[in-house]
Amino acid sequence: MKRIVVFTGAGVSADSGISTFRDADGLWANYRIEDVCTPEALQRNRAQVIEFYNMRRRESLTKRPNAGHLAIAAMEEWADVQVITQNVDNLHEQAGSKRVLHLHGELMKLRSERNPDLIYDINDGWEQSLDAKAEDGSLLRPHIVFFGESVPMFEPACQIVAEADILIVVGTSLAVYPAASLVYYVRDRQVPIYLVDPGNPDTAMIRNPLTHIKERGAVGVPQLLEQLKNELTK
Ligand code: OAD
């Protein structure tokens, strides 16, 4: 079985009704990163940060996987698939993908401010109360990688990409590092890279054979995977 790695960004969830970050109507057009997505913001303005992620979580509870997520999950029938996502929603898991690595954390988890390994699932509802504490006595925070923080899952993600026979990139502007640099960790220059994105992600430095399918995820992903399935399972 071919090893296919799918690297996704906010665009894969756009067709499920979740806003991207950098499109014209994206989240970062309405919020300043330094107000809601940095460790300093959490210290200075805890209420606003918690509220921002409470709203994201509440919104995400009403969203369902789209045809792109579902096609990626169905690919496990004929390929060895690993998903690496920058998204904090759980739509890949809801679609049935079994191996999903979250580079930037997960909305439905909280963690201790002091101990990053003390992580809790939110099993009920969407609201984190301001004074909720972890068992080590410190306050809880969203299990999200803020700007300026290290990305602990980056190394494991690089290793996964290095084993890919095919890399598929869906719905990311490739503007945020280190995540965007994952596309350079493929084993060699022969590994084909497919990109499904209606916009123009920054691919200037990619030297591998690159096919850009300029479609939204719910259309372009099923099309591409059908084509790959026909080619690979002949
Ligand atoms: P961006 O908002 O930067 O990019 C979204 C990408 O999705 C763009 O390339 C769009 O063209 C594309 N897109 C829009 N609609 C689409 C659709 N219907 N189908 C497919 N693609 C579509 O989002 P990311 O690249 O994911 O980090 O952003 C990376 C990180 O920046 C995020 O993980 C987040 C953000 O700040 C943190 O919050 C730490």
Is residue 234 over pLDDT 90? no
Closest by CA to 11, choosing from 219, 158, 224, 181, is 219
**Catalytic site includes residue 104:** yes
Shared domain check, 209 and 135: no
Q: SS3 of 209, please? A: coil
Shared domain check, 126 and 155: no
**pLDDT for the residue numbered 82:** 98
Shared domain check, 212 and 154: yes
180 lines ligand 1 (CB under 6 A): no
Shared domain check, 113 and 29: yes
Tens digit of each residue's pLDDT (9 = 90 or more) over 184-194: 999 999 999 99
Tens digit of each residue's pLDDT (9 = 90 or more) over 170-223: 999 999 999 999 999 999 999 999 999 999 999 999 999 999 999 999 999 999
Shared domain check, 131 and 24: yes
Q: How confident is the model at residue 73 (pLDDT cuts 50, 70, 90)?
A: very high
**pLDDT for the residue numbered 3:** 98
Report which protein residue has its CA nearest ligand 1's atom 16. 11
**pLDDT for the residue numbered 108:** 97
Number of independent structural domains in the chain? 2
Shared domain check, 204 and 179: yes
Of 69, 92, 102, 104, the catalytic one is 104
How far is the C-alpha of 139 from the C-alpha of 110, rounded, in Å?
Answer: 10
Q: What is the CATH number of the domain that holds 230?
A: 3.40.50.1220
**pLDDT for the residue numbered 64:** 98
**Alpha-carbon distances, residue 104 vs 107, 177, 179, 204 (angstroms):** 10, 11, 9, 24
**pLDDT for the residue numbered 90:** 98
15 lines ligand 1 (CB under 6 A): yes
Q: Give the distance (Å) from ligand 1 centre to CA of residue 11.
A: 5
Domain enclosing residue 111, as ranges: 19-62+105-144
